[in-house]
Amino acid sequence: MNIDSGVRQVNRLLLNCDMGESFGSWRMGLDAEVMPFIDCANIACGYHAGDPSIMRRTVALALEHGVTIGAHPAYPDLVGFGRRSMACSTEEIRDLLHYQIGALDGICKVLGSRVAYIKPHGALYNDMMADPQKLRAVLEAVAAYDASLPLMLMATADNSAAQALGDAVGVPLWFEAFADRAYTASGHLVSRRLPGAVHHAPALVVEQALRLAKGETLVADDGSAVRLSASTLCVHGDNDSSVAAVRQIRQALDALEQP
């Protein structure tokens, strides 16, 4: 990975994973088991999960394994784990992003690092993908904090509108895809409410990861071919089988880079 303090270039398919989603005495995820196999950790900032101690421990774990740290801000929704949409104004989106990014960046600073990118969580992520005005609000908030920080957002069959908006605001974009999710013909995720939306078989997950890494088409839910241009792959590590899948994806992607 080639990331510096200025413009960041993604030169291979980076594995990113949501991390630090425990809270107080409640434990979620298998962060220690997953961290050795990923490139980027999306660390919860206290609004949907995480607390100052969890954030510090997760940042320290990421630094121990040389993993790039990203802020994972959300709507203020601990009870709903950030998965419920909220009617926030542009100013409220700006403020909740700055509050959360700043909190994580402060912990990074005292540990000798910094936040390197932003990936909104849950309903905030989905809302910005569905509403250009919310996406602009997020982009402008990131630009006001640090315009060199990339924003991670969902890759679809056509990234041009989002890319144009990112270019207009002056924020670099990292488009992400998912190895364990089914896609529609437009390159959007099949709703979890529908059968077959999530791939559970490790072999299928690894196969989809490799197809994305090689720029090959995927089979959409209607049987058509869909191609996604992505720079990062989201993986999940909240149970033993998902950790095993992450390990296999890491090994498969590393094998692609061998001469």
Give the pLDDT of residue 257: 80
Residue 100, token pair as written in the block: 């959360």
What is the rounded distance in angstroms from the CA atom of residue 23 to the CA atom of residue 54?
7
Supply the DSSP string of 15-67, one letter for each residue.
EEEEE---BTTB--S-HHHHGGG-SEEEEE-SSSS--HHHHHHHHHHHHHTTP
Query: Does residue 38 form part of some domain?
Result: yes
Query: Does residue 121 form part of some domain?
Result: yes
Query: Does residue 257 form part of some domain?
Result: no
**What element of type H or E holds 173?**
strand 173-178
Amino acid symbol at 116: A
Taking only the tens of pLDDT, the chain with its 259 residues reads 444 433 333 348 999 999 999 999 999 989 999 999 999 999 999 999 999 999 999 999 999 999 999 999 999 999 999 999 999 999 999 999 999 999 999 999 999 999 999 999 999 999 999 999 999 999 999 999 999 999 999 999 999 999 999 999 999 999 999 998 999 999 999 988 899 898 888 888 899 999 999 999 999 999 999 999 999 999 987 777 788 889 999 999 999 887 6
Taking the C-alpha atoms of 85, 190, 151 and 22 in order, what is their torsion angle to the nearest 10 degrees? 60
| 39 touches 1 (CB < 8 A) | yes
- CATH code of the domain containing 171: 3.20.20.370
| 69 touches 75 (CB < 8 A) | no
Query: Does residue 214 form part of some domain?
Result: no
Query: Does residue 211 form part of some domain?
Result: no
Domain count, the chain: 1
Residue 250, token pair as written in the block: 């890491």
Give the pLDDT of residue 5: 35
Residue written as tokens 């809302």?
Answer: 127
Query: Does residue 192 form part of some domain?
Result: no
Query: Does residue 162 form part of some domain?
Result: yes
| 176 touches 153 (CB < 8 A) | yes
Give the pLDDT of residue 8: 38
Give the pLDDT of residue 199: 87
pTM equals 0.91
- Structural domain harbouring 23: 14-180+228-236
| Burial of 191 from C-beta contacts in 10 A (0-12 / 13-18 / 19+) | exposed
Query: Does residue 255 form part of some domain?
Result: no
